[in-house]
């Protein structure tokens, strides 16, 4: 029973769902939002010289532009962020072609316009966008991202991109590249430069907040609705956003609350290259939303068309499904002093036939490379902020666990024929789930050849999938978040593989530490991750997890808890949906006498959804509610 309660406790965390609203659409104002184009002009043209690939001493592999390139022959031109840099020009051209066809008259790009941020690349990008404006009769508005003001100053950025927002600006911040511009209807863009004065930093100072506040006041007095746009994020979208250091602005001056106060209901941003919408309920009860859009040059190659109307704001996700590959065979790189084609013929055939599939493959290969690098012991210690001097015990434990982690991440998930060298692990009694001891009390060791074998030795289940190792599984988790992909269910093989393989991996890592060290580790992790990352861990669950290091069930619970933010994104339509959804409208400016307007208009009642998925969600909602009640009674407090 205790086990069932714990499992259901986890499920309550995963299914905290609220109702989705839908509104009748009308067509007051449409805007195309794209971000993180990373137009890599130097790579595309070779800029007179051919970029040299450098060997990275850490990985012993080639570097392009400080990112570790992949080892895959047909994707060796892809950096470890999974972005399509050589292809970024073709992607931009196709985006502009689609934007020209769209009914929207306004196009907004929220930073990382070019990849290197050089003078030449910026000039070329600005020229492309200016030509688009002339040809299409539409208006483009840009702000800088961290890549754009790395090599050039903000003033130079404003000069280069002058006709792309600054020329039409109503107000400009002299201390930054921020400005406002009216775009039709009662809507005004509040284009906020979120990059720091120095390269790399991006925290707002009081002066920038004061400038924003003055614009809020001005908009209010002129009865304009402000649509905020910035490169970095206003809200935390994802429990693991901390992996993008500094992605979220330091909100010590209360920008979120300011936006809620002045009904700056929507903020559009980029930088994390993820497709995600998040809402924030301010202390005055108002709800504001932040809409992050994926990088234009990385899978799923998406941008948004947003319709602002009095009845609601509706989002539709569009994507680049094919590009003109005609220049792909001209791009060169220098490897070991030898000129080499950047994109192979085989890759071009793939890109021509199925560009989205090509982008997805590039993304998976790139991110796998990145995870392999990030999940090294030294990097993990850096993220968890542990150093030997301050915390010798935890540091030593992480060293032991980290070494095992590096091993199991690349161990085959399946190897029935035992083709690879096995690893020695303690033998587990399948009946009791406990490690078998010899006469002297030492663990009996046995060889295991795959993660599947380790999982099954604990009575776990690893159904056959095409994933080769745990890194592939982690990439799947991350990719689902980034692409706004939803719909993976508890019935899926992927779900079983994710939870069971990770729990097996945790068991494997924990073979290296004692019961005592395990206790310290769980306590450290719980303290480190809650409440900032994961929220408060219910006391019962903590006691259960801390109950024993050999417990596979406990580790399943712990892994579920740890990755619940990923899984929540994967198994449910998160509210709001990250791709196509209609959300609340801006408050109407009352005239002449203010009627009592609700924050959001009354939603039209949704049609009854009888799908299996809807029933599944409703079922877990009921369970979640029941267990919330039980926990409240048991502990006399609110837990969730």
Could you list the residues that contact Fe ion (CB under 5 A)?
36, 112, 145-146, 271
Least separation in angstroms between CB 57 and Fe ion: 25
Min dist CB 117 to Fe ion, Å, is: 10
**Nearest CB to Fe ion, comparing residues 36 and 517:** 36
Task: Output the six-digit token pair for 39.
Answer: 């137009």
Q: Vertex 110, ends 104 and 116: CA angle to 5°?
A: 125
- The DSSP symbol for 417 reads T
Please say which residue, 36 or 494, places its beta carbon nearer to Fe ion: 36
CB of 210 to Fe ion, least distance (A): 25
End-to-end CA distance of the chain: 21
Q: CB of 297: closest distance to Fe ion in angstroms?
A: 9
Q: Which residue has the tokens 């837990």?
A: 639
Report the residue number, 112 or 453, with the smaller CB distance to Fe ion: 112
What letter would DSSP give residue 46?
G
For residues 117 and 145, which CB has a smaller minimum distance to Fe ion in the complex? 145
Shortest Å, Cβ 513 to Fe ion: 38
CB 112, min distance to Fe ion, A: 4
Per-residue burial over 240-258, b if 16 or more Cβ lie within 10 Å, else e, is bbeeeebbbbeeebebbbb
Q: Are strands 225-230 and 187-192 parallel, antiparallel or unpaired?
A: parallel
Residue nearer to Fe ion on the CB measure, 164 or 624: 164
Phi, psi of 538 (to 5 degrees): -55, 140
Rounded to 10 deg, the angle between the 2-14 and 552-571 helix axes is 20
In sequence order, what are the residues at sequence separation of 6 or more whose Cβ sits closer than 8 angstroms to the Cβ of residue 392? none
When the beta carbons of 263 and 578 are compared against Fe ion, the nearer one is: 578
Instruction: Give me 403's structure tokens.
Output: 């070494």
- CB nearer to Fe ion: pick between 89 and 145: 145
Which DSSP helix (H) or strand (E) runs through 628? helix 612-635
Residue (111 or 538) nearer to Fe ion, CB? 111
Nearest approach in angstroms of CB 244 to Fe ion is 9
**Which residue, 246 or 548, is less far from Fe ion as judged by CB?**
246
Where do we find the tokens 């509040």? 190
> Which residue, 89 or 426, is less far from Fe ion as judged by CB?
89
CA 29 distance to own-chain centroid? 28
Helices (H), 484-579: 493-510, 515-529, 539-545, 552-571
Q: Token pair 């001005």 is at which residue?
A: 218
Q: At what angle do helices 470-482 and 552-571 cross, to 10 degrees?
A: 30
d(CA 596, CA 599): 10
Token representation of residue 335? 């490897």
Tell the smallest beta-carbon distance from residue 147 to Fe ion (Å).
6
Q: Which residue has the tokens 């020229």?
A: 127
**SS3 category, 455:** helix
Smallest gap from residue 36 Cβ to Fe ion (A)? 4
**How is residue 85 written in tokens?**
């840099």
> How far apart are CB 150 and Fe ion at their closest, in Å?
10
């Amino acid at each position: 029973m205790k086990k069932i309660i714990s499992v259901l406790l986890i499920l309550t965390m995963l299914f905290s769902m609220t109702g989705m609203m839908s509104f009748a659409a009308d067509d007051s104002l449409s805007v195309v939002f794209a971000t993180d184009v990373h137009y890599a002009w130097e790579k595309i043209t070779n800029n007179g010289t051919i970029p040299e690939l450098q060997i990275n001493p850490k990985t012993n592999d080639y570097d392009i532009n400080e990112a570790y390139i992949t080892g895959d022959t047909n994707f060796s031109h892809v950096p470890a962020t999974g972005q399509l840099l050589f292809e970024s020009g073709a992607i931009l051209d196709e985006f502009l072609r689609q934007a020209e066809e769209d009914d929207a008259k306004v196009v907004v790009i929220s930073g990382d316009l070019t990849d290197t941020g050089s003078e030449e690349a910026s000039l070329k990008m600005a020229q492309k966008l200016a030509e688009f404006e002339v040809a299409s009769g539409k208006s483009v508005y840009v702000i800088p991202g961290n890549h754009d003001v790395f090599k050039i100053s903000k003033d130079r950025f404003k000069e280069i991109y002058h006709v792309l927002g600054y020329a039409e600006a109503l107000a400009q911040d002299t201390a930054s590249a921020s400005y406002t511009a009216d775009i039709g209807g009662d809507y005004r863009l509040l284009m906020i430069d979120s990059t720091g004065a120095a390269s790399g930093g991006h925290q707002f100072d009081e002066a920038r907040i004061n400038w924003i506040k003055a614009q809020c006041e001005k908009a209010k007095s002129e009865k304009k609705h402000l649509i905020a746009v910035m490169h970095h994020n206003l809200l935390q979208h994802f429990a693991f956003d901390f992996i993008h250091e500094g992605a979220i602005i330091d909100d010590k001056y209360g920008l979120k609350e300011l936006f809620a106060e002045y009904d700056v209901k929507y903020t559009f941003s980029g930088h994390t290259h993820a497709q995600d919408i998040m809402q924030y309920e301010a202390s005055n009860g108002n709800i504001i939303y932040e809409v992050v859009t994926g990088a234009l040059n990385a899978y799923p190659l998406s941008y948004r068309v947003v319709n602002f109307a009095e009845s609601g704001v509706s989002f539709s996700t569009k994507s680049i499904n094919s590009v003109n590959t005609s220049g792909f065979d001209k791009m060169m790189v220098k490897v070991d002093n030898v000129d080499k084609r950047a994109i192979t013929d085989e890759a071009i055939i793939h890109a021509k036939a199925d560009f989205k599939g090509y982008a997805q493959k590039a993304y998976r290969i790139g991110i796998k490379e990145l995870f392999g690098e990030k999940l090294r012991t030294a990097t993990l210690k850096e993220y968890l902020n542990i150093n030997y001097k301050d915390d010798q015990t935890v540091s030593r434990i992480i060293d032991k666990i980290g070494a095992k982690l590096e091993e199991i991440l690349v161990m085959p998930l399946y190897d029935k024929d035992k083709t690879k060298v096995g690893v020695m692990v303690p033998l587990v009694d399948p009946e009791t789930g406990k490690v078998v001891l010899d006469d002297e009390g030492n663990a009996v060791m046995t060889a295991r050849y795959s993660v599947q074998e380790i999982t099954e030795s604990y009575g776990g289940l690893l159904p056959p999938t095409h994933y080769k190792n745990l890194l592939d599984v982690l990439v799947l988790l991350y990719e689902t978040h980034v692409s706004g992909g939803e719909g993976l269910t508890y019935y899926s093989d992927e779900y079983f593989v994710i939870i069971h393989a990770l729990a097996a991996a945790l068991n494997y890592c924990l073979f290296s530490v004692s019961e005592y060290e395990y206790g310290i580790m769980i306590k450290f992790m719980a303290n480190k991750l809650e409440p900032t990352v994961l929220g408060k861990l219910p006391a019962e669950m903590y006691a259960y997890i801390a109950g024993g290091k050999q417990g596979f069930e406990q580790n399943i619970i712990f892994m579920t808890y740890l990755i619940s933010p990923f899984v929540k994104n994967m198994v449910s339509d998160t509210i709001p949906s990250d791709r196509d959804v209609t959300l609340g409208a801006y408050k109407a400016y009352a005239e002449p006498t203010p009627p009592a307007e609700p924050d959001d208009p009354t939603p039209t009642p949704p049609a009854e959804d009888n799908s299996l998925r809807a029933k599944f969600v409703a079922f877990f909602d009921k369970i979640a509610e029941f267990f919330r009640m039980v926990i409240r009674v048991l502990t006399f407090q609110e837990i969730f």
